[in-house]
Each structure stands twice: as C-alpha cells, then as structure tokens.
Amino acid sequence: MSQRAYNQLWADAQLELSRLLAEELPAEPPRPERDRVVFFQRLALLYVRYLQIFRQLEKVYDQIVHPQKRRLIQALVNGVMGRVLELKNEMVEIEFSEYHYLDDILHDLKLLPAALEIPIPRYFITDHSKELDERKTMLTEILKMVESNESPELPLTKDMSQEEAIKIIQMQERARQGRQRAKLNEGSRNMNRMYRTKDPGAAEIELAAICIQKVWKGYIQRVKTKIAQEEQMIILGMAMDPKYEVPRPAEITAQDCETSTRIKQEEYEEDYLKAVVAITNQLREAEGHDISETLKAQIRQWFIECRDATGSFPDYPDEEDGGSALIFCEKDPQQLREEIAAKEEEESGNKPKGKEEEKKGKGKKDKEKNDQEEEEAGLKMAPSAFLSDLEVGCKTFSDFWKTRDESQNFSQRHDVEQLKEQKRKTIEEEIRLQVDEQMRQELAEWKLAIDKDKGGKTKGNAKKKKGSKSGKKKKKEKDLTSDRTLESLCQELVEQGLLKKAKNVRLQDYLGDYNYLGTTLRQNDIEPMPSLSDVRQVLSLYGILPLGSQVVHEKAPLIKAILLAGPAGVGKKMLIHAICHETGANLFDLSPLNTAGKYPGKSGLAMMLHMVFKVARLLQPSVIWIEDAEKMFYKKVPKEEKELDPKRLKKDLPKSLKLIKGEDRVLIIGTTKDPQSADVKSLCKMYSKIILIPRPDYGSRFILWKQLINKAGGEITEALDLSSLAKVSDGYTPGHMVKVIQSVITKHRILLQAKRPLTAAEFVPPLAKFDPVYQEEEEGLKNWYAKTPLGKKRIKAATGKEEEEAPANSKAAKKKGKK
C-alpha cells in the first residue's frame, strides 16, 4: 500500500471514531438503563467498534512515515487502546465474568471471530529498540560472566566392586561377539543367494514383465486419481490451491516495502528531531526578545488598568494558577480581581459551622441524594479518562490534516510551518516564566513607590504558607542500595537466579480456536469453559497493552497482579514469556522454590524485595513471576516443604505490591495448578485478576495438532486423520501434545514420510502413556473459581439473589432514615 492509501485508511478510522464520540458524548446525557442485558449489549457494541478502529490506527501508525502525523496517530492509538480497556472493565463489572461471548454482535456487524483478536502494536518494541538492545546485551554479558565464573562440577565417582566390573565386561564382550556373529551370518546368506540363482527362461521373463507393468499402471492410475480428486476439492472450495500456500511474489514485494518503509521512518524521525532543535534555536534568537518585550508591555498595561478600575494594584497570579497566562484571558481587570479574591476566600474560609447550620446542610444533602437516587436508578457508563484526549485528537485532525493539500509533499517530510507554530508556543511559555519573575519584582516596586499609605502586603506568601501547612508529607521509601550501580544490582540478581532471560515466544504461538457455543450455552444457563483464544485475548488486554504503553498504564484501570490458574501443561509459563517478548519486559522470578535459601532472615528478605522492585522500576516494563503461587498462601504446609519455607513472602510481598503506582509499569503474575490448597481470601487479596485456563476444546486441539505437526517437520496428508486424533486426545493439554509429537516425529521419521505418510495411529500409543486432565479436576477448578469474589458475584447474578438483595437493602436504609 502507498502512503496515500494509508492516509485514506486513517481518514476512514477518524470518521468512525468521530461517530463513536458523538454517541458517547451527546449534548444531553442519556437516561440510566434499567435492563442489565441491554446495557451490556451497548457496552459490547462499543467495545467491538473501538477494537476495529484500534486495528486500523495501529496499522496506519506502523506504515505511515510523516513524523508529525505519527505523533498524532500514536496519541489516538493510546486513547483508543485505553478506551477499549475501560469498556472491558465495565463489561466485567456488569456480567461478573472475565470472558465474554459476542456472537450476536459479530453477526450484526458481519464480522469474523478474528475481528475480536486484540492487535498488539508493533511500536511497543520498535520505538524502544535501542534501549531493549542495550538491556539484552547487558543481560547476555552478565550471563556469560556468571557461567564462566561457575566452576565446572567434577563427575561423581562411585566405588565399584569386582563382581560389578566383571559383569560389565562380560556384557560388552557378549555384545561384541553377537555383532561379529551377525556379520558372518549375513555374508553366508549372500553367498547362498548367489549360488541359488539360475538363468531364467523366456516364460519367467514374460511373467516378470507383466508383473512390473501391472504395478506401474496401478501406480500411475492412483496418482492420476489423486490429482483429479485434489482438483475437484479445489474447484468446490474445500481445499486450498498449493500455489496460494507458498508466499506469492506480490506478498514478498509487499513485505519488502514494509521493511523499507520502517527504515524510511527512522530517517525522517532523525531529520525531524534535528529540525526541532534548529528551529527552536532560530526562533529563540530571532523572536525571543520581541516576545518578552510585548509580554512586559501587556502586563504593565494590565497593572495600570486594574489600578484605574479598582484604585489599587492587583496581586500577581501564582505560578500554580498559571502566572501571567491568567491576565490574557478574555476578562476585565475587575473580573480577574474578583476571581482571585474569591479563590483566596475559599482557601482561607474553611471555618467550622454551627450545629444548626450543619444539621440544615446535612438535611438538604440527604434530600438531594435521595432525589438523585430515585431519578438516576439504573446503570450508567463510568466517566472515561480517554474520551477527552480522543476528542482533542479528532479536532486536530479535522482542523489541520483533513483538508490539507499535500500534493507538493510527495515524500511526506515534516511540515516546517506547523513546527514553527508549535515551537513558538513552547518558547513563549519559557519566556513567560522569566517575565513573571521580573514583573513580580517590578509590581512590588510600584506598590512600594505608589501605594505606601495602604501598606498592604501581598497575599501570595500567606497562600503559600497555608498550602504548605495543609499538605501532609508522605514517607519516602528508604533506598537500601543507594551506593550501588544498576549493573551491579542486575549482576547480583542474575547470579542468584532472580533475573532471567525471557524466551523468544510470541502470543500468536499460543494456539487456540474461538468458542462458537459460548452465547448459546449462556442463554441456556450453562456457564461455558473459556477457549484458549479467549485466554489469549484477556491476557493481551490485562498484561500486554498496559505494559507496552506508559500513557495507557497511568490512565486505564490499574492492574497490579494477575493469577493464572489451570492444570499442568496448558501453557501458563509460555504466556508469561510471550508477555515479556511482546512488550520487551524483563522477567524476575520470585517463586517460592527459587527464593528458598536465598537472602536469609528478615533483613535479607527486605533486601531481596527492595532490589527486585528497584531494578524492575528502573528497567520497566517488568514482569515478576511467581510459580506455584498457592504455596505462598498454604492452608497447611506439607512436611516435605517445611524446610523450604514457602510462606516466606506472604506478608512482605503484598506490602511491596501496594507501592506500585500508575507510573510504574511493573506486573506481578502468579501461576498455579493447585489453587485449592491455598487460602482463598488471602490469594484473592493479592491478585486482583484471576484467569482460569482450561484444557483445550475440540477446535483448539485440531488446530494444535495441525500446527505443531507442521512446525516439527511433519506433513499433513489424507492418511493423517486429524479429526479423529483431536477427538481421541480429549482431556490432554498442549504440553502433552508437544511431548508426543517430539517422540513420534524424529529425523528418521521425517525422511520416511515420502514412502510412509504419518497416520493418527502413530500418535496414540505415546499419548496413552500420559495421564489426561480428568473432568473431576476441571470441575474442582470450576468450584474453586466460584469461591473467588468475581465467581460469587456471577453465581448471585445467575440465581437472581443480587436483585432480591438490592430492594431489601434500600427498604432497610429507608427505615433507618425514618428512625
């Protein structure tokens, strides 16, 4: 696609976004919705539509080369991304489930299930490629140093008795004699064959030729029949034409164009940054003096106008209120003076009221609250932190870029005039701060010279003092490693095995099919088990998008800790490595087994947590992984694990979790396969989001077998019945499938595929050696999840208890009010 096509795609996305904003920000606020189902459908429709805009804008940002356009598009991508997360959070609160099934909305919008896949912006990695490369090189160097410093362990030597040594020698000698005997027998058999052969007659030669002809004609006919069947399947649309399976020349050229476009983006970005510095210096030298002089003249004029209108000089606005920027608002001097006086009265006049006034005020407030509750009974959308940013972005696009003629800017270089306008504003703000300091001194001198008789002191100092008294000082966290460098801390964490290198795994590699029966099952009051595709989508929203974008992490609903619960082999570790790879995050391991015996004592534990969280903040984004998270909250510690002290981090880790703020892109992810052994309350306090990962369903198993066999080097032919194999492997996890494929598809078996294709029967015997995930274990996980806060709410909503409790609570509240 050309730059013109991407600009058109951006315009289409902006048009749809403006329609959505018009629906979400109407002139009159919409009435509250009483029906929960209707309200959820509205939220889900907005979610799907925002998701499509997100996909379009991400594609545009990845390929457009204009530096100034890219900055606006990135702001829009962050805004749409944050709005998607807000809508997801509201959908969870309405439906009391982390998984949602939107089949009816996809049908109405004529979209495929693939439209619900969360796009992962590529700029998470590309925009910070230099920093990530530096971190990787630093970690690899530290790992090499650690490996070289470790002394090689000497092989353990065991004392062997004479009888054991004789037995080993006898076994080796017998094996040697057997090999020699086999060689002699093979030679004698070959000699016998040579002597047995006689000169064949004419009849035998004819029979042999007929036999060869039969075999050859049969083979040729089978090949022709197979080709005819394949052509018929292609014509009917039930099979893919082989020429489309191989990358076509057009696709290869498109990929080359994309890579060259990304190189061009880097060149244009460097030119733009150089131009910013040059234009800023040029404007500061050429126009800086004139700007300061005009500002001073305007401020002096304001001093004189205020004195003429009120009889005295005004107080200069503080820096917190905007300084001299307030002066140039479209207001009279008298209005400005009244506003400043009103603010001072509000700040200073916080005196306690009398009892009668308080009772009257409380009575009025209670009446207003009751009236509002009666009028506003129903469901409303929560206020958004991103809609205002999206509105500003849409306005910028419509005011500047929509109607702009770029026929002369074929190469899509930056616009110099727009850059000058932006830099004039920043230079004016810088100069305004300097002018404010000078004009405050000048105003004080005028007051001393002219208003001596009044002798009034400026109230700005008093205001500042009050502000300083009212503000409470927050306790700062002690830095236990203030005298150490970041590299030394990283080296120690690597040596202790707490900082690890993430594997090169993408989230797309976590294979799974869409759940096509989710809506049908919920309509029949059956809670479906989520598919692996649903798990992938939820982790993209909760883990990857907030970690990848600083803006989204600060404004979106904050998620500090996620718990992945599911049987062994469903891919919990793979998901953690995928999150780290997609966002460029560092991986820290605070698992109970990994921390056992390291940093002993309370002081050692405090030092370990301090180092981990300090390095995680400095090298953000970061993921802190806790394997076997249930061990930290054991109801009763098993005897064999008492020495390891698995509950060591139970008290201190939640305290460290509270210190994570919006600006800290640090995420704690716990994995567990046996959550029933832990205390539910303490586990749910630690992890705000609990995601249940099930065993794969039939569709996911079919995709897994197909993709994993192809990846291992196997060929999918008609002889391999994948449908039967997916049916037989019910209850087995992706981990089981990977092990089975590794044992079956060896190098020798790959060479034999041309003569003997793979069959489903070859995978069944090694699969039978593993124990599947039985239905009892899955039901146990379901029952455990029903005890979590979200699971309890879901059960209440399904049984209708929540609706019964709401009116009862309101009646009790009214009775209390009457008393």
Show the tokens assigned to 113: 């299930």
Contact 665, 550 (CB under 8 A): yes
| H or E element, residue 563 | strand 561-565
Examine the pLDDT at 210 and tell me if it is beyond 90.
yes
Contact 759, 790 (CB under 8 A): no
Examine the pLDDT at 410 and tell me if it is beyond 60.
yes
pLDDT of residue 461: 42
Examine the pLDDT at 164 and tell me if it is beyond 70.
yes
Burial 476-513 (b: 16+ CB within 10 A, else e): eeeeeeeeeeeeebbbbbbebebbbebeebebeebbbb
Contact 757, 719 (CB under 8 A): yes
Examine the pLDDT at 486 and tell me if it is beyond 70.
yes
**Maximum distance among all alpha carbons in the chain?**
143
Question: At 473, is the pLDDT very low, low, confident or very high (cuts 50, 70, 90)?
Answer: very low
Show the tokens assigned to 685: 């306090």
Contact 507, 545 (CB under 8 A): no
Is the bond preceding residue 600 a cis peptide, omega within 30 degrees? no
Tens digit of each residue's pLDDT (9 = 90 or more) over 220-279: 999 999 899 988 988 888 887 877 777 778 878 888 888 888 888 888 888 888 888 898
pLDDT of residue 329: 58
Instruction: Give the C-alpha separation, 44 to 106, whole Å.
Output: 10
- How would DSSP label each residue in 437-492? HHHHHHHHHHHHHH-TTT-PPPSHHHHHHHHHHHSPPPPPPP-TTTTS-HHHHHHH
Residues 361-377 have a mean pLDDT of 49
C-beta neighbour count of 724 within 10 angstroms: 12
Looking at the chain, the whole-number percentage of residues with pLDDT higher than 90 is 19
Examine the pLDDT at 152 and tell me if it is beyond 70.
no
Place of tokens 């003997």: 756
pTM: 0.79
Place of tokens 């129903």: 378
Instruction: Give the C-alpha separation, 748 to 589, whole Å.
Output: 39
Examine the pLDDT at 470 and tell me if it is beyond 70.
no
Residues 377-400 have a mean pLDDT of 86
Residue 695 burial by Cβ neighbours in a 10 Å radius (0-12, 13-18, 19+): buried
CA dihedral of 10, 533, 574, 504, whole degrees rounded to 10: -30
Examine the pLDDT at 745 and tell me if it is beyond 60.
yes
pLDDT of residue 87: 92
CA dihedral of 71, 76, 81, 86, whole degrees rounded to 10: 130
* Most confident of the following: 187-196, 348-357, 610-619: 610-619
Tens digit of each residue's pLDDT (9 = 90 or more) over 1-45: 678 888 889 899 999 999 999 988 888 888 888 888 888 899 999
Residues 343-363 have a mean pLDDT of 51
Identify which has the larger pLDDT, 120 or 339: 120
Examine the pLDDT at 407 and tell me if it is beyond 90.
no
pLDDT of residue 377: 63
Contact 794, 96 (CB under 8 A): yes
Residues 158-173 have a mean pLDDT of 87
Residues 82-91 have a mean pLDDT of 92
pLDDT of residue 204: 83
Examine the pLDDT at 527 and tell me if it is beyond 70.
yes
Residues 673-686 have a mean pLDDT of 87
Examine the pLDDT at 465 and tell me if it is beyond 80.
no
Pick from 387-391, 455-459, 771-775: least confident: 455-459
DSSP 113: G
Contact 541, 118 (CB under 8 A): yes
Chain centroid to CA 34: 33
Question: At 477, is the pLDDT very low, low, confident or very high (cuts 50, 70, 90)?
Answer: low
Question: At 459, is the pLDDT very low, low, confident or very high (cuts 50, 70, 90)?
Answer: very low
pLDDT of residue 801: 58
DSSP 692: E
Strands, sheet with 499-500, edge to edge from the N-terminal-most edge strand = 499-500, 586-589, 622-627, 666-672, 561-565, 689-692
Instruction: Give the C-alpha separation, 383 to 82, whole Å.
Output: 13
Examine the pLDDT at 328 and tell me if it is beyond 80.
no
Contact 431, 292 (CB under 8 A): yes
Contact 101, 519 (CB under 8 A): yes
Pick from 131-135, 376-380, 588-592: least confident: 376-380
Looking at the chain, the whole-number percentage of residues with pLDDT higher than 70 is 85
| H or E element, residue 273 | helix 249-310
Identify which has the larger pLDDT, 407 or 178: 178
Question: At 338, is the pLDDT very low, low, confident or very high (cuts 50, 70, 90)?
Answer: low
pLDDT of residue 199: 67
Show the tokens assigned to 241: 């034409």
Residues 484-498 have a mean pLDDT of 86
Examine the pLDDT at 812 and tell me if it is beyond 60.
no
Question: At 544, is the pLDDT very low, low, confident or very high (cuts 50, 70, 90)?
Answer: very high
Residues 573-583 have a mean pLDDT of 91
Instruction: Give the C-alpha separation, 87 to 53, whole Å.
Output: 14
**Arithmetic mean of pLDDT over the chain:** 82
